[in-house]
Structure 1
Amino acid sequence: MGSRLTAEQADFVAAIRDFAKRECGTREQRDALTAGGREAHDAGLYGRLADLGWLGVCLPEAYGGSGGGLADACLFLEETSYGMVPAGGFVTTVIAAKAYERFGTERQRHDVLSGAVRGDVLSIAMSEPGAGSDVGALRCQARREADGTWAIDGQKTWISNAHCAEYILLVARTGEDKHGGLTMFHLPAGTAGVQTRRIDTMGGREVNDVFLTDVRLPADAVVGQVDHGWRQLMAGLDHERLFLAANMLGLARRAFDDAVGYVREREQFGRPVGSFQALRHRIADLATEIECTRLLVREVALDCDAQPDKPFPREASMAKLKATEIAKRAALEGMQMMGGYGYTTEFDMERHLRAAVISTVYGGTSEIQRDVIGKTYGL
């Protein structure tokens, strides 16, 4: 695909842009849908995306999806992000859904994937107060009882969309080995003993603490194999990083376009501020970097689709690193070019910055991505 789209993909992109313009094209519409920018997900709007069949863009047709590839999902993520569509639940949903598709039982796939196509939100619970980048250090304990059922106790934190999720893909410790003792579990969000508490962050509430107190799950709640959770997580990391990259690519493009629109109109010293070389060169540099990022993200998506059984750790980490860092830079540069107006809630730039800054932390920090890339070169 690179810089080119198929006719079907071009139509898909055009349809998403039209939807975004109609449903959330004005600041007033976006404020109404997001409680003034504090919420990243609107269930009603998400339901309309489901009605259009878009939420199953890369899920199998057998479960109601469109059967598309990762490249199609990336286009959806990029364009909804660019259009500021409050569909924040889709990122964790598509990441978790792909894990169920690879490792879940037929019953799990039917319930979860079909639900995701209809508009259910999925969440993934890995991080803990003492285990972030080092997932192998997690301590949330799952004990197998004599009757084969599971008893789970522990705390998860920074769990995106747990407050609006139908199902949570839970990673818990089932053995002593650091990496060989982890297991994935299928956890319906309303299960007794599960308590979710939202965490206030920079103007938004998208992440949560999840407390698990004597939670009981049936024997068939295991997703994949017992003690194979680490391997299963590693198998899905490329997809996770790619999806996050596509999401931030859309934000980078939006921050850039908002900045360009401002500097074209804002006049000082009798002319638009964008006509001054200092800003014109900033715009040129950002445009070039964003275009490079767009090509990288789309080529990695195509490679993953072309060779679904091959891992792409270097390329996926490069895409995640590049896209999140350029999104942060675009928002920071945009705020600087807009001057004081960039800091006001009257304009969207401050929202762009809040969303971009955290993207270099979640899903593996920029430092972790650089470490992964370096290791692929034998360093």
Structure 2
Amino acid sequence: MPRVLTDEQRDFVAAIGEFCKRECGTKEQRDKLTANGQEQHSRELYAKMAELGWLGIGIPEEYGGAGRGMTDLCLFLEETSYWRAPISGFATTIIAAAAYEKFATEQQKRVVLEGVVGGRVEAISMSEPGAGSDVGALSCRADRTDGGYLINGQKTWCSNAHLADHVLLIARSSREDSKHRGLTQFMVPTNADGLQIKGIDTMGGREVNDLYFTDCFLPDSAVVGTPGQAWTQLMTGLNLERMLLAAMMLGLARRAFDDTLDHVKQREQFGRPIGSFQALKHRIADMATELECARLLLDDVAATIDAAPDEVFARETSMAKLKCTELAKHITLEGMQMMGGYGYATEYGMESLHRASIVSTVYGGTSEIQRDIIGKTYGL
């Protein structure tokens, strides 16, 4: 089914494809940009995208951005993900930037939002060793002191902190009758005294980090928004986070499908292409149908958000995130199965697509959490 895009959007997607094909279209190019796959973000490639103005797509025009909506952001992430562009820092940067745009002081906005347009990376830190899905259980402390706060505690699974200029930290500044109260957001320079960033080795390479705070002093001017109200502030960003992650995985799933389709058309056994056998032909048909369903869902939710950007669409965005991430995991695994030994070999890339898809059902709220959210919207 043809995608309904404006001429401007169609040209935008085509330009992204042409750029990525030229700059990172081969495994050899991507290996060079990512230290043989160990790094998920290339500053070199990111700087080139900044020069083209793409990194400011979701940033307001007064800060140098394009001021575009959810649909265009999703198109950008879907297409760059399809081409496997190593720009993992973009999603966390835009998620953090949206919080600054809504709640930060003008000075904070100038520093962060203009930096984003220029190619700077930002990070956001919520998870702790004892608080993952249960964000309200955070215990990293922000104790009031003269002229500011002292931060003590550990955060974990912080994506791209090692690349970022700042970490948008959520810490507990007070104990209230509700665990969701007393949380405050802080703008923390990654070179702040008392902050140690230590990488966590993963099957995806260098991507996430532990953060250790030891009497890290932050002035009052580091507070983002209203002290004690971080939970409410975080809830306003759920549309964006879930949709960006869904778009990334839709692009990855499309790539896995196309690579699988190419293989089953070319690979011959028993005197004919293996895709001509019913066992594989029907699996391809099912994958294609599910991809189309996911795309239609994502496009529809993005358009709905663009029509009412101040509303929170908890059910719809959770559905999009759940569908696209689970589908990416399924299609990449099916691709490995249908490609046989080639799917397992690093030379052909399907195994790396599968590794990238697995964590998508965990970060940004696990699939189980998304299902729980959806169920609650039906009164369950």
- The residue number in structure 2 matching 1:187 is 188
- The residue number in structure 2 matching 1:149 is 148
Distance in 1 (alpha carbons) for counterparts of 2:114 and 2:259: 37
Amino acid at match of 2:284: I
Amino acid at match of 1:6: T
Is contact 1:159-1:210 (8 Å) kept? yes
Per-residue CA deviation, residues 35-65 of structure 1 (Å, 9 max, x unaligned), is: 2222110001100000000000011000010
- The residue number in structure 2 matching 1:159 is 158
Distance in 2 (alpha carbons) for counterparts of 1:120 and 1:291: 34
Distance in 1 (alpha carbons) for counterparts of 2:48 and 2:300: 30
- The residue number in structure 2 matching 1:176 is 175
Amino acid at match of 2:157: W
Is contact 2:204-2:356 (8 Å) kept? no
- The residue number in structure 2 matching 1:99 is 99
- The residue number in structure 2 matching 1:48 is 48
- The residue number in structure 1 matching 2:236 is 235
Per-residue CA deviation, residues 350-379 of structure 1 (Å, 9 max, x unaligned), is: 110010000000000000000000000000
Secondary structure (helix, strand or coil) at the match of 1:161 reads coil
Task: Spell out structure 1 runs of 4+ moving beyond 3 A.
Answer: none
Amino acid at match of 1:137: A
Report deviation, 1:205: 1.4
Is contact 1:37-1:351 (8 Å) kept? no
Distance in 2 (alpha carbons) for counterparts of 1:286 and 1:315: 22
Amino acid at match of 2:224: V
Identical residues among aligned pairs (%): 64
Secondary structure (helix, strand or coil) at the match of 1:323 reads helix
Give the number of aligned pairs: 377
Report deviation, 1:148: 2.8
Q: In angstroms, what is the RMSD of aligned CA positions?
A: 0.9
Secondary structure (helix, strand or coil) at the match of 2:55 reads coil
Per-residue CA deviation, residues 216-271 of structure 1 (Å, 9 max, x unaligned), is: 11111111100100001111111100111001110000011111111111111011
Distance in 2 (alpha carbons) for counterparts of 1:369 and 1:203: 23
Amino acid at match of 1:40: Q
Distance in 1 (alpha carbons) for counterparts of 2:264 and 2:49: 34
Distance in 1 (alpha carbons) for counterparts of 2:270 and 2:36: 35
- The TM-score normalised by the length of structure 1 is 0.98
Report deviation, 1:3: 2.8
Secondary structure (helix, strand or coil) at the match of 2:202 reads coil
Secondary structure (helix, strand or coil) at the match of 1:154 reads strand
Distance in 2 (alpha carbons) for counterparts of 1:205 and 1:259: 27
* Structure 1 unmatched ranges of 5 or more: none
Distance in 2 (alpha carbons) for counterparts of 1:220 and 1:371: 37
Amino acid at match of 1:105: T
Secondary structure (helix, strand or coil) at the match of 2:56 reads coil
- The residue number in structure 1 matching 2:356 is 355
- The residue number in structure 2 matching 1:72 is 72
Report deviation, 1:299: 1.2
Report deviation, 1:144: 1.2
Is contact 1:157-1:208 (8 Å) kept? yes
Matched, 1:376 2:369: no
* Structure 2 unmatched ranges of 5 or more: none
Distance in 2 (alpha carbons) for counterparts of 1:261 and 1:204: 27
Distance in 1 (alpha carbons) for counterparts of 2:226 and 2:147: 14
Report deviation, 1:203: 4.2
Amino acid at match of 2:361: T
Secondary structure (helix, strand or coil) at the match of 2:206 reads coil
Amino acid at match of 1:95: I
Secondary structure (helix, strand or coil) at the match of 2:234 reads helix
Is contact 2:133-2:365 (8 Å) kept? yes
Amino acid at match of 1:170: L
Amino acid at match of 1:292: C
Is contact 1:259-1:338 (8 Å) kept? yes
Secondary structure (helix, strand or coil) at the match of 1:200 reads strand
- The TM-score normalised by the length of structure 2 is 0.98
Distance in 1 (alpha carbons) for counterparts of 2:296 and 2:108: 35
Per-residue CA deviation, residues 181-237 of structure 1 (Å, 9 max, x unaligned), is: 101001111111111111111141101111111111111111110010000111111
Secondary structure (helix, strand or coil) at the match of 1:41 reads coil
Secondary structure (helix, strand or coil) at the match of 1:74 reads helix
Amino acid at match of 2:291: I
Distance in 2 (alpha carbons) for counterparts of 1:232 and 1:27: 40
Matched, 1:109 2:109: yes
